Structure 1
Amino acid sequence: MDRWYTMVGLLACMLLVACFTSSTPLEIAATTSGLLSVWLTARQNIWCFPVGLVNVVCFFVMFYDAKLYADMTLQVVFFVLSIQGWIVWLTKRGQAKVRPTRRMMPQLGLLLALLLVVVTAGWGYVLARYTDASIPYVDAFIATLSILAQLLLSNKVLENWHFWIAVDVLSIGMYTYKELYVLAALYVIFFGIATSGLIQWRSEYRAAQRSGRMGVGL
């Protein structure tokens, strides 16, 4: 998915789906900007962050209307982490366009797993108890997993793609259930791009290892 015409084709497909499902202009803007942002991320293009900020604003409004409050709150976190990632990717990069990819240390993996369980339980309880959230614990789990994925992405850690692939699979089911069919279709494409991103980043990381330019673990 490196070539520009691949992106044009994907956008065209999303617009066709949008037309057949009578999507709103906001939903179309959210899906197209989200698609472009993830595609740029897989290519390690720094423009993924400004495009992603546009996407965050669109999704914030859309999730509010759908009563998916965890996802709505998530967009605020994404906004902050995107700014952080924009800065991180442009530092300690030497002669490269962006900072080299790093690997996640086992200790961090255990910490993130613990955080996923604790935050999901607490967030899900709050949504179920104090809001009219549609599917509070599923919503909270996907939202928490997405925050962890974005945190790893912002710090240029390879394993962010494992998290995003899990988010994509779960989101396809949730948005289909909520009858947000354009979003569900978008996450099918996200799944493909995330898989491609994992392969590309891992290949470049191994090449950097062989040449002695590997990033430090996180």
Structure 2
Amino acid sequence: MSVTDEILTPRGPARVDTDVPAGAPVALLVLGHGAGGGVDAPDLLALRDAAVAAGLVVVRVTQPYRVAGRRAPAPAGHLDEAWSVVLGVLRDRHTGLPLVVGGRSSGARVACRTATTVGAAGVVALAFPLHPPGRPERSRAAELGTGLPTLVVNGDRDPFGVPESGPDVRVVTRPGERHDLRGDPSGTAAVVRDWLRDRGWTPA
């Protein structure tokens, strides 16, 4: 069961939904939503369930523009600013836990752009939008270059493209999935859970 509250940011209040494991937590996973969606997307909910069961505190963050009822996303700088303020508060609430940041689509981009600033140990990027549909020349691959362990999970039919693996970036392509990753949310969550375990962020 989630506990919901709000954190004030310079861009308005952000909403945070926090789920805690039954025992002592081993890490903190903070997730953001897509540009026009919310934190109840099937892949985010499946990941929440799997991660909480694996011993993580999971916090899903709703950006201020969505709390205010707008669907059109705020500028990238505003998203990053609000996210960073929220992460500062969450780190104070959950001191001593390794921080893993992530999200789906736009939320994954925000997590990547701010990962080092907020002190993250790793990044989980679901449906990372490599480029606008039909515009492969407008690549956002550089955003994945955080220098931190990063997991990308994309569908092989995603019109936003699929990034390539790199020295710190592992890319898992889910067959038959599109950008929404709705085909097999539990399978996507299992990929992330196993990666978290491999990194030592869940019990062995």
- Tell me if TM exceeds 0.5: no
Larger Rg: 1
Q: TM-score, normalising length from structure 1?
A: 0.31
* Higher RCO structure, 1 or 2 (CA under 8 Å, sep 6+): 1
Bigger strand fraction? 2
Bigger helix fraction? 1
